[in-house]
A and B are shown apart, each in its own frame.
Chain A
Amino acid sequence: MIINHPLLGPRDSAEFVYMGDASLIERPDPEAENAADQFHDYAYLRDNPAGELRELWFHEGGDRSWLVVTRDTRTHEISKVELARDVARSKGRSL
């Protein structure tokens, strides 16, 4: 596969390490009342769609960016690649 890195251009996926669903960016609030349940769902449950999936790839053999890649799990077609940091900020994460 080829991942079109937003900073570096097209790169072979062999340069990357995969982690899975980009929902891992949305770490729950540990202070929440039902934090235990929220963390369980966060850490263990997956939509696992047959179709578009936003997923985390780490450019280990490159600039060490975490990317959010939107890829169809049926065809492997990649429709979007973003810096995970930008996605995290857009989700309201900061410090």
Chain B
Amino acid sequence: MTQVNRVEGGQIDRNTPLKFKFDGKSYTGHAGDTLASALLANGVRLMGRSFKYHRPRGPLSAGSEEPNAIVTLRDGARAEPNTRATTAELFDGLSARSQNCWPSVKFDALAVNDAASDFLAAGFYYKTFMWPAPFWEKVYEPIIRKAAGLGALSMQEDPDEYDKGFRHCDLLIVGAGPSGLMAALTAGRAGKEVILADEDFAMGGRLLSEQIEVGSTSALDWTTQTIAELSSLPNVRLMSRTTVIGAFDHGIYGAVERVSDHLLEPAIGKPRQILWRIYAGKTLLCAGATERPIAFENNDRPGIMLASAMRSYVNRWAATPAQRVAIFTSCDDGHRTAADLHAKGIKIAAVIDTRADTPMSMNYEVLAGAQVTNTKGRLGLTVVEVQLADGSTRTLECGALGVSGGWNPNVHLTCHQRGRPTWDGDLSAFVPGGTLPPGMTVAGAASGDLSTNGALLSGANGAAEALGIKAADTPEADDTPATQSAFWYVEGCKRAWLDQQNDVTVKDVRLAHQEGFRSVEHLKRYTTLGMATDQGKTSNMGGLAIMAEIAGKGIPDVGTTIFRPPYTPVAIGALAGRMRGMEFHPTRLTPSHYWAKECGAVFVEVGNWLRAQWFPIEGETHWRQSVDREVKATRASVGVCDCTTLGKIDVQGADAATFLNKVYCNPFAKVAVGKTRYGLMLREDGIAMDDGTAARLAEDHFVVTTTTAKAGPVYQHMEFVRQCLMPDADVQLISTTEAWAQFAVAGPNSRALLQKIVDPEFDISNEAFEFMACANITVCGGLRARLFRISFSGELAFEIAVPSRYGDALMRKLMEEGEEFDVVPYGTEALGVMRIEKGHAAGNELNGTTTANNLGMGRMVSKKKDSIGTVLSERAGLNEDDALKLVGVKPLASEDKITAGGHLMAADGPVDAANDQGYVTSAAYSPEVGSMIGLALIKSGDARMGEKMRLVSPVTDSEVLVEVTSAHFVDPEGGRQRA
């Protein structure tokens, strides 16, 4: 098809033809076109179907307020549903298709809904589909869901990348129309850092669409010159294709730049879009205004559009929706469209003006005091029915109808911090008012100043006032004050669309009022008015006005709904940026990571860390084989585990011991230098927070360890105690988790192994370096290190720390020197098995609800001192007679499984919540015991040793008999770790 509706002029590049497809059919447009303008030029008015009644629809607007012309852009994984044809830039190879229609946009089976619309009135679904009850999920809902929705997702991973960035400026100008450009000139010439952002790909706003003069030149030339000057200023950043989506606290704005949406696909290494966080000293909103439609019967046919949009299509894009058009207007703006179209040789069927005193024209017929009462045309407008001033009717044949009901300032961003706009009776429109986001002012049409001259002046003055500088000189332009009076709908209309996408008509608003849904929020929610992808930009005011009239109130008394971010919908991918896939969270690697990888270790995510889970060797096919081997080898000889991930906090100062005595519930005041003590920290509410060790390396120096998961929170807590509760304490804290690589060396040969690397001047014999000792030492001939004789496995064990950069080397050295002892590396699984065998509490037991009493450490809580959590730990509810106690469980039949998360029930009696005795916190196969074992929290557990209980896990379908035992399955006397 040729471009039958292409007219002369415009700002398209006729030398650059672009081929594109819509619904499988090939067309040609030009650089500078949008998909909508190119389709109109090709004689295509029908671009989609509405949500509920599947009515045929073409573009209503030429911008981001578009409710109707929404399509699925691109194919395959890049398919992008619900894209406005009116803002989609044309590119060569563009492919788009209509959506929410089957089998085709021209013949849509669900258009039957339109015929049945009386049955589908607002809120009908709340009144039916209730019987029988199970039918909702099974019958009604699937049908409704399938019919609802607009475009479809590809169900494939988005192949494009998104970036995020930060920018700062003295003045953020939102919108590059006449006011925005003048504001940028004012601030830019004064040397201020300026960001000028506009959602359009070309800057200029309405200046691009009007045949007017600015200064002594055309609006377009003035725009071009101004942009050229702004581009030459290094302190001005022009951001086209950038939508400021929201005004957030303290001058922070979100903006989305569509870097590659006008390309077939992003250039290599380039993102599709960038989310900018703009920190603006001041902000000037120059977002313009949106023309408002008039509701009349069947006002939604393809070809019926806003008069200003029609002007844009013709003036900017050289595309007319039809060769013969009519205009329906309640203000002078419609006449401007008629004049511009006439000048391009497009036939004007008539201008229908609701006003009696309308300006007349020599060039075309003007019907004063007339109204459009109905339209015809199944897939596009063919006939407009008009009621004339004298009451007679007349039909006009035309392919398009431009509608103008005046303009609404785009106040959206002024309301993002919940300020409400105020009603301007002269304009019959809401204008910015109330409390604006701090730092924001408004200029141009967005402020209600609807003339070009006013926009230029208020832009210059707005920037000048915001920054305390002098306004730039403004060129002269049309300063006819805008007059617009309220004309929302044609009397007697019923199926007259307000929200075209969601199919909300005047009739629906009346019904909502009749049924008591009279507050504007009720109206919106009951009818879905303004809830479509255009966010009600062209529909809210009409709905509000009609509700006000029915209710006999003024529009401001009915209220306005709150405008929320984003200004226009934003791709979820852009908000996520690069934080997806493996980059979703940072990955922290242990010092021995690359060594472990060489060994073929299997890794597991532990918070942000990746830790070796086990180290399979040749012939092992199941993880249990590896883990059992690692446990046995460690207990038999020696094993090494990287435990760097445990939090490490350096505590120094004269009051270090006093400080630790406050944060740990057990005493720390008298720990001897060279000794390590196990410590339990409580939260202030008396619940166990974390456990670990504190090693006193010097009178004024402790090294505290935390669990891996709690490294951050414990550090934060300790800083709170230090700064907020003990501000004068002479103590300093620093997290050294990443500074030191730390390895557990465990097993009867651990000392023998360490003796090979510890420098000879350090005696680590049992006598010189007894259980719980600690020291600063050197290894491997002078490398500084810290040695702690602590044991998580219950074996003779040490933890040795060296500066992180030596961690890899130390691990290799330990493996090399340990060969004679058949040393094994062990992972987190074996670590877990051994700690369960030993009965040590870990994350599963320290779950934020357990007390020292529950964990069998009640007596550790010192009553002789004040420490965090002591007072509230004494509450009755935490110390009841049948409180949970940490014990062990093992199956009566050794092959039975212990399920962590299983609940314990008495051996006989009902199995239900009322008879719940507790639950298994951790479970593992114990090579030492020869069966699975578990740790459990059981009511009065410490008094139930030997009791047979049922361990039930209905959710995993298991039930076994277990015996309650001590939590210490291995070496309960602790002889090994003291050896």
Do A and B share a complex?
A: yes
A residues with CB within 8 A of B: 1-2, 12, 17, 19, 24-25, 27, 30-31, 35-36, 39-40, 42-43, 56, 58, 60, 64-66, 75-78, 83-89, 93-95
Q: A30-B871, A58-B716 are contacts. A84–B723 as well, Cβ < 8 Å?
A: yes
**B712 closest partner in A (C-beta):** A60
* A30-B871, A60-B716 as given contacts; A95 in contact with B728, CB under 8 Å: yes
Q: A43-B684, A60-B712 are in contact. Are A25 and B725 (CB under 8 A)?
A: yes
* Contact for A24 among B655, B724, B726, B872, CB less than 8 A: B724
Closest to B713 in A: A17
Contact of A19 among B279, B720, B733, B872 (CB under 8 A): B720
**B466 part of interface (Cβ distance < 8 Å):** no
- Known contacts A89-B727, A95-B655; is-contact A35 B871 (Cβ 8 Å): yes
Does the CB pair A88–B723 fall under 8 Å? yes
**A77 to B417 CA separation, bound complex (whole angstroms):** 11
Residue of B nearest to A94 (CB): B728
How many Å lie between the Cα of A10 and that of B625 in the bound state? 56
Q: State A56–B133 Cα separation when bound (angstroms).
A: 51
Q: Which residues of A contact B872 (CB under 8 A)?
A: 36, 39-40, 43
Q: Let me know if B875 is at the binding interface, CB within 8 A.
A: yes
Q: Please state if A94 and B726 are interface contacts (CB–CB under 8 Å).
A: yes
Bound-complex Cα distance A12 to B249 (A): 11
Q: For A27, list chain B residues within 8 Å (CB).
A: 684, 725
Whole-angstrom CA separation of A2 from B253 in the bound complex: 12
Tell yes or no: B252 within 8 A of A by CB: yes
Most buried by A among B417, B712, B716: B716
A58 touching B720 by the CB < 8 A rule?
yes
Knowing A30-B870, A36-B875, A75-B417 touch, does A84 contact B724 (C-beta < 8 A)?
yes
Shortest Cβ distance from residue A39 to the other chain B in the assembled complex, whole angstroms: 4
Residue of A nearest to B655 (CB): A95
Given contacts A1-B252, A24-B720, A36-B875, 11 further A-B contacts (CB under 8 A): A30-B866, A30-B870, A30-B871, A31-B866, A58-B716, A58-B720, A78-B250, A89-B727, A93-B727, A94-B726, A95-B655
Which residue of chain B has the shortest Cβ distance to A3 in the bound complex?
B250
A85 and B438 contact, Cβ closer than 8 Å, known pairs A40-B872, A66-B719: no
Residue of B nearest to A32 (CB): B871
A2 — which chain B residues lie within 8 A by C-beta? 249-252, 279
Query: What's the Cα separation between A75 and B417 when bound, in Å?
Result: 8
Question: Once bound together, how far apart are the Cα atoms of A78 and B252, in whole Å?
Answer: 14
Could you write out 11 A-B pairs with CB less than 8 Å apart? A2-B251, A30-B870, A30-B871, A36-B875, A43-B685, A64-B719, A66-B719, A76-B250, A88-B725, A95-B658, A95-B729
Q: Which of B250, B252, B874 has the most CB of A within 10 A?
A: B250
Question: Which residues on A sit within 8 Å (CB–CB) of B726?
Answer: 93-95
Kindly supply a per-residue 1/0 record for chain B positions 442-459, scoring 1 wherever the CB is within 8 Å of any chain A CB and 0 otherwise: 000000000000000000
| In the complex, the 4 A-B pairs of residues with the closest C-beta atoms, listed nearest first | A2-B250, A88-B727, A94-B728, A39-B871
When distances are taken between beta carbons in the complex, the residues of chain A under 8 Å from B871 are: 30, 35-36, 39
Nearest chain A CB to B585 CB, angstrom units? 15
Q: How many residues of B contact A (CB 8 A)?
A: 30
Known: A1-B250, A95-B729. A58 touches B417 (CB 8 A): no
Q: Taking the nearest CB of chain B, how far is it from the CB of A87, in angstroms?
A: 8
- Whether the Cβ atoms of A76 and B249 lie closer than 8 Å is yes
CA distance A30 to B871 in the complex (A): 7
Q: Is the interface of A mostly helix, strand, loop or mixed?
A: mixed
Chain A residue at smallest Cβ distance from B437: A75
Bound Cα distance from A80 to B866, whole angstroms: 32
Which A residues touch B712, using CB under 8 A? 60
The answer to whether B719 touches A58 (Cβ under 8 A) is yes
Contacts of B874 in A (CB 8 A): 36
Q: How far is the CA of A14 from the CA of B726 in the complex (A)?
A: 27
The residue of chain B having its C-beta at the shortest distance from the C-beta of A76 within the complex is: B249
Complex Cα gap A1–B438 (Å)? 12
Closest Cβ of chain A to B662, distance in Å, is 9
Q: Are B723 and A66 in contact, CB atoms less than 8 angstroms apart?
A: yes
Q: Which residues of B contact A39 (CB under 8 A)?
A: 684, 871-872
Q: How far is the CA of A68 from the CA of B222 in the complex (A)?
A: 52
A88: which B residues are within 8 A, CB to CB? 723-725, 727
Contacts of A84 in B (CB 8 A): 723-724
**In the complex, residue of chain A having the shortest beta-carbon distance to the beta carbon of B684:** A43
CB contacts (< 8 Å) of B655 on chain A: these are 95
Contact B724 A77 (CB under 8 A): no
A62 to chain B, nearest CB (A): 12
Question: Could you say which of B712, B720, B727 has the most chain A C-beta atoms within 10 Å of its C-beta?
Answer: B727
- A2 to B871, alpha carbons, bound, how many Å? 37
Partner of A66, one of B250, B438, B724: B724
Residues of B with C-beta under 8 A to A77: 438
Cβ of B746 to closest chain A Cβ, rounded Å? 33
A residues less than 8 Å from B716 (CB atoms): 17, 58, 60
B733 proximity list for chain A (CB < 8 A): 64
Chain B, range 698-729, C-beta contacts under 8 Å to A: 712, 716, 719-720, 723-729
Q: Quick check: B724 and A93 within 8 Å, CB to CB? A: yes
Residues on A with beta carbons closer than 8 Å to the beta carbon of B727: 85-86, 88-89, 93-94
Residue among A1, A31, A65, A93 making CB contact with B249, cutoff 8 Å: A1
Give CA–CA (A89, B926) in the complex, Å: 53
Give the nearest-CB partner of A44 in chain B.
B685
Closest to A25 in B: B724
Residues of A within 8 A of B728 (CB): 89, 93-95
The interface residues of chain B lying within 8 Å CB-to-CB of A86 are 727
Alpha-carbon distance A24/B417, docked complex (angstroms): 30
**Residue in chain A with minimal CB distance to B417:** A75
Residues of B within 8 A of A65 (CB): 723
Nearest-CB distance from A11 to chain B (Å)? 11
In Å, the complex CA distance between A91 and B870 comes to: 22
- Docked pose: A76 CA to B658 CA in angstroms: 38
Q: What is the distance, in angstroms, from A9's C-beta to the closest C-beta of chain B?
A: 13
Q: Once bound together, how far apart are the Cα atoms of A43 and B250, in whole Å?
A: 31
What is the bound-complex CA distance between A38 and B685, given in angstroms?
Answer: 12
Instruction: Specify which chain B residues have a CB less than 8 angstroms from the CB of A35 in the assembled complex.
Output: 871
CA distance A58 to B716 in the complex (A): 7
Task: State in angstroms the CA–CA spacing of A67 and B874 once bound together.
Answer: 31
A89 to B655, CA, bound (A): 17
> Which partner residue on chain A sits nearest B734 by CB separation?
A64
Give bound CA distance, A58 to B655, whole Å.
22
Minimum distance in angstroms from A10 CB to a CB of chain B: 9
